[in-house]
Amino acid sequence: MKPAIQANSSSNALFEPFTLGDLVLPNRVVMAPLTRNRATHGTDAPNDLNALYYAQRAGAGLIISEATQISKQGQGYIWTPGLYTGAQVQHWKTVTDQVHAAHGRIFVQLWHVGRISHTSLQADGAAPVAPSAIQAKTKTFTESGFVDVSMPRALEAEQISSILADYAQAATNAKAAGFDGIEIHAANGYLIDQFLKDGTNHRTDRYGGSVENRARFGLEVADAITHVFPKARVGIRLSPVSPSNDAVTSDPDKVFGYFVAELSRRGLAYIHVVEGATGGARDIAPFNYRALRKGFAGAYIANNGYTREMAMDAIADGAADLIAFGKAFLSNPDLVERLKRDAPLNAPISETFYGGGAEGYTDYPALQTSLS
């Protein structure tokens, strides 16, 4: 595994191989997780269209799947895939088989949304769960369209163990589905992030108050998953200062510095860091990303608004080991080749981001088609 900070003098290093844990990636371009709301209606299982979509993008050094709920309780949006039923595992296996046939590598991003949900998405119309009973000032996507999220209920301490068991089972299911690894979703105001941040966590028990207590749940999730899946194949996504889904904290450097140091001690393969506001400005709040990178022994994946030039510079000067691209991968299945050639990129069609079929999903042209 590479040292925490290592400059690479080659301007082409973005396109050179990189060893992530025990997995050799052919390049340092990562496909970021992208929610597309195209799972099969009624089962929340992937389908053949999803398999084609991921296989088209197998040129990425690493694909991180769309966020995938570990349980029905963990679901926050309509038509997002799960990994907790036999049918879901079986259909994810079709996806991973096709990615591997195209010589790609794919990690699944495991997800529990916590309070970012709606009663219509929960079993028996139950309230979503959260560290504290604080309703988020945000919306979610349901069969009725975008609606305000529901008021959550605070988890009892003894109920947390069942969620940890769901994470462990999802890790077991990820093995059965043929994934190369797991990314823990601890960003963007979802459940783990809700525990980490003091704006969303007002607990007074062992899961609230101090930095160590607020980090406890996320570390227990990491432990549950690495007891099942090799730690060299497990990473985690973080968003220290992003206000996404109304989750903020007064002490980002302190809480994420501690959290990342503990993750490093556990030997995780990488941290995947949203620098700034998710999908927005990079400079919304001061934060020492260099210190975060230095405090982690594994790889650092940088994310948020990177251009080709920014990505190449970040790799060359040692600011990051890998760079994750989101919207660019959405509309450019052959993004790595386009970046190598400095070729034009297809523009994404925002109207087809969420829900629908092949249009705006698997019909973006590849480079040769575009230039012919």
**In whole angstroms, what is the distance from residue 61 CA to residue 26 CA?**
5
Q: How large is the average pLDDT for residues 99-116? A: 98
Quickly tell me which residue has 């994946």 as its tokens: 301
| More confident position, 182 or 5 | 182
3-state secondary structure of 251: coil
Catalytic residues: 190
pLDDT of residue 151: 98
pLDDT of residue 368: 80
Q: How large is the average pLDDT for residues 44-64? A: 98
Calculate the CA 156 to chain-centre distance.
Answer: 26
Q: Which fold has domain 13-371?
A: TIM Barrel (3.20.20)
pLDDT of residue 3: 42
Q: What is the DSSP string of 275-322?
A: -SSTTS-S-SS---HHHHHHT-SSEEEEESS--HHHHHHHHHTTS-SE
As a whole-number percent, the residues of the chain with pLDDT over 70 amount to 96
Q: Output the six-digit token pair for 20.
A: 């992530």
CA angle, 193 then 130 then 208, to 5° = 65
> Does 1 score more than 80 pLDDT?
no
**In whole angstroms, what is the distance from residue 60 CA to residue 220 CA?**
30
Q: What is the DSSP string of 102-170?
A: TT--EEEEEE--TTS--GGGSGGGPPPEESSS---S-EEEETTEEEEPPPPEEPPGGGHHHHHHHHHHH
Quickly tell me which residue has 């690493």 as its tokens: 62
For residue range 270-323, what is the model confidence (pLDDT) as tens digits? 999 999 999 999 999 999 999 999 999 999 999 999 999 999 999 999 999 999
Domain borders along the chain are: 13-371
> Does 11 score more than 90 pLDDT?
no
pLDDT of residue 371: 59
pLDDT of residue 209: 98
Q: Is residue 264 within 8 Å of 52, Cβ to Cβ?
A: no
Tell me which residue of 206, 237, 352, 259 sits closest to 303, measured CA to CA: 237
> Does 49 score more than 60 pLDDT?
yes
| More confident position, 369 or 288 | 288
pLDDT of residue 5: 47
* Phi (first) and psi of residue 350, to 5 degrees: -65, -30
Side chain identity, residue 103: H
pLDDT of residue 316: 96
For residue range 334-346, what is the model confidence (pLDDT) as tens digits? 999 999 999 999 9
